[in-house]
Amino acid sequence: MKKEDWRPNKCVKVFILFEEVHMSEVTTKSINNQFLRDYIDSEIQQKRRLESTISEYNSLTRKARERVVDQMNLIQVLEGQGGGEEQLKTLRERKTKDVDLQSQSEKTLEELKQKRINLVADIRHHLIELTKREVAAGGFVTHRIGAGPRTNLNRQTMNVTFREWGQIEMAIATDMDSWRDSSQLKIITKGVL
Amino acid sequence: MKYSYYYDLEKKNRIECIFNVLMYEQDAKDETIRLNFQASIVEYKNDEVIQSANRLASFVLPQQQGSQGHDIDFHRIRYKPENKWIFEIRNNRVISETLVLGLYTDLARHDPIGLDVQHINNQYNVELRGNNLSRLQPTYVAPTIQSLLVNTNFSDRRIPDGFTSIGYFYDHNNTRLRLNNFRQTYRTKIPKKAEFTIKASITPTSVSGVDNKLFEVDLDNIGTIHVFNHQMRFIKVNASAGVIKNFSNPLSMESFLSIPEYSDFIIDGDKNGNIRITYGSEALEASIDSFEDSLFLAFTASGSINHYLNQLFVEYKI
C-alpha cells in the first residue's frame, strides 16, 4: 500500500472485499484501526517467511561458492599433473554450471533482501500511524506480535506462552522519541503446560 | 528473558535487556519460588559489546500454584532527552523488590527497527502478557547512570582494553607496571557534562628530573596537568595560561615510600565544569569548558624517568 493510497474511504472499500460486516454499527475510526492491526499482522507473517527464505538462500549461496572454489582447486591440480583432456573438460563444464548457479543464487538473495527492506518500511509506515492513534486515545499501543518456534500466541488476548528457547518478534515503529515498553511475565512451572 | 532491540536488518547493532535466571528453586512445602538472577543491559555495535551494565539480585515469588496475576514486570525505557536506555525489573508479588539498570548511549537517539524476545531459561515455561508500548509520564525522571570505564589494580599481567604503553614492564612481585608513558582510551567517551572520577596510583622512581618536572597527564578535551616536585599546573584545553598550586612541602621520595596516599593521582569533575586534581595529598581546583566528550588520558614521564602504576580507575555518572 503506497502512502498516497491511504485514505479512509479507500480502506473501507478494500475491507468490504474480505469480510461481511455490519458496517453501520462500527465507526470508521475503529474499522481503520482494526484494519491496520490485521494488515500489520499479516505483513509480519510475510516478513517471517521471507527471513526463513533468505536464510536458506544464504546457505545455498555459501555452498555454491565453496563448490566453485573446490572445483577451481581441483582443475589447478589436474592441470599441474598434466591430466587428461576429457577429465579437465568435464570439470570445467561443471565449474561453469556451478558459477552460474552461484551468481543466480546471489542475485535472488539480493532481490529477497531488497524485498525485506521494502516490507519493513511498509510495516513501519503503517505501525507509526497505528501507534500514533492508539497512544493518542489511550496512552499505549498493544504490540503486534509474530510468534516463532516453541511459542503459542493467543490472538484474542495477545498473550504468548513460551516453552524453552521460544522466540517471538514484536514490531516497533513510532514517532515518539521516548517511551516505555512493558511486559508482564508469569512463570508456569513445567509439567503444567 | 532476552529483549533484543535491533537497529539494522542484520541485527548487528542492538540493545539487549537480559533477565538471566541463575538459580530457580521451588519450595515443596509453601510453593514459593526463589529466583537468583543476573540482569544486564548491553550495547552491541557491529556485533561487539561496546558497554554493559550488570547486577545480580534475587526475587521471592510466593504462592505459585493456582495464583492469579503475573509475577514480574519488565520495562524497557528509551529516554532520548538524556541519551539513556533503561531496564527496570519489578517483582509484582513483592513490590519493594525492584532493579533498575541503564546505559548512556548514542543509540537512544535513534529508532530501533524491531524487537526480538526470547525465553532463555529452560527450567520453567512463561507467559508474557500486557506487551504494550506507552507514552512516558511527563513526570518521569530518568535514573542517574553510573558507568565504570576502567577498573584495575594490575593484580595480574593483564592490561585493560584500550591501554597502550611503549616499553612497560610488569613487576609481578608488587603487581604493578613500571613505565614512562601510557595512554588509556575509553571504550565509550566520558560525556561532556558528566560527573567523573579518574584515579591512578603513580609513584616516581626519582623526583629530581629536568626542571624538577615529574610527569604530565593529558586529558582529552579537558586539559593537561603538569606535575613538578614543587607544584602542579593545570592548563585547560585551548588555553595557554593555567592554574598553579604550589606544594606546601616539596614532594620527596621518602614521602612516596612511606605514605601510600601520596601516590594517589585523582581528578574529580562535577557537572558544572569544576575539577579538583589531587597529588601528593594536595589539591588544585580549576574550571574547565566541557564543550566536548573526552576519549582518553595520556601519561608522559619527564625525561623518560620510570614510574610505577599501581591502579587505574575511570568512572562517570550522568
User: Which set of grid coordinates corresponds to residue B205?
Assistant: 622512581
Cβ contact B126–A164 (<8 Å): no
Min Cα distance B186 → chain A (Å) is 27
Q: What pLDDT, in 10s, does the model give residues B155-179?
A: 988 999 999 999 999 999 999 999 9
d(CA B23, CA B3): 20
Give the pLDDT confidence score for residue B65 in this predicted structure: 61
The answer to whether residue A10 scores a pLDDT higher than 50 is: no
Per-residue pLDDT of chain B (318 residues; tens, 9 = 90+): 999 999 999 999 999 999 999 998 888 887 788 999 999 999 999 999 999 999 999 999 987 666 777 899 999 999 999 999 999 999 999 989 999 999 999 999 999 999 999 999 888 899 999 999 999 999 999 999 999 999 999 998 899 999 999 999 999 999 999 999 999 999 999 999 899 999 999 999 999 888 999 999 999 999 999 999 999 999 999 888 899 999 999 999 999 999 999 999 999 999 999 999 999 999 999 999 888 999 999 999 999 899 999 999 999 999
User: Which set of grid coordinates corresponds to residue B22?
Assistant: 541463575
Residue A165 buriedness (CB in 10 A; 0-12 / 13-18 / 19+):
middle
When CB atoms are compared, the residue of A124, A172, A189 closest to B64 is: A189
Cα→Cα distances B26→A143, B33, B65, B99, B123, Å: 32, 4, 11, 22, 11
Under 8 Å between Cβ of A140 and A90: no
E strand or H helix at B106: none
Cβ contact A120–B61 (<8 Å): no
Within 10 angstroms of residue B113's Cβ, the number of other Cβ atoms is 20
Min Cα distance B110 → chain A (Å) is 8
d(CA B252, CA B243): 22
Enumerate the β-bridge partners of residue B285: B276
d(CA B231, CA A46): 70
d(CA A14, CA B227): 77
E strand or H helix at A78: helix A28-81
**B112 → chain A, closest CA residue:** A172
Phi and psi of A59, rounded to 5°? Answer: -65, -45
**A189 → chain B, closest CA residue:** B124
Min Cα distance A28 → chain B (Å) is 24
d(CA B300, CA B298): 7
pLDDT band at A5 (very low <50, low <70, confident <90, very high): very low
A119 touches chain B (CB under 8 A): no
The HSE-up count of residue A7 (CA atoms within 13 Å, CB side) is: 4
Residue B244 buriedness (CB in 10 A; 0-12 / 13-18 / 19+):
middle
Tell which A residues from 169 to 188 touch B, by Cβ distance under 8 Å. 169-174, 176-188
Preferred mutation among A122, A187, A188 to probe B, highest tally of B CBs within 10 A: A187
Give the pLDDT confidence score for residue B217 in this predicted structure: 98
A161 touches chain B (CB under 8 A): yes
A–B CB contacts, 8 A cutoff, strictly below: 185
**A136 → chain B, closest CA residue:** B135
When CB atoms are compared, the residue of A159, A178, A183 closest to B80 is: A178
Under 8 Å between Cβ of B297 and B164: no
Cβ contact A165–B61 (<8 Å): no
Within 10 angstroms of residue A147's Cβ, the number of other Cβ atoms is 20
Under 8 Å between Cβ of A168 and A120: no
Give the pLDDT confidence score for residue A188 in this predicted structure: 87
Give the pLDDT confidence score for residue A81 in this predicted structure: 85
The answer to whether residue A39 scores a pLDDT higher than 60 is: yes
Question: Of B245, B311, B256, B314, whose CA–CA distance to B280 is shortest?
Answer: B256
pLDDT band at A23 (very low <50, low <70, confident <90, very high): very low
Largest separation between any pair of C-alpha atoms in chain A: 84
Give the pLDDT confidence score for residue B66 in this predicted structure: 66
**B142 → chain A, closest CA residue:** A178
Total-model pTM: 0.84
d(CA B315, CA B158): 20
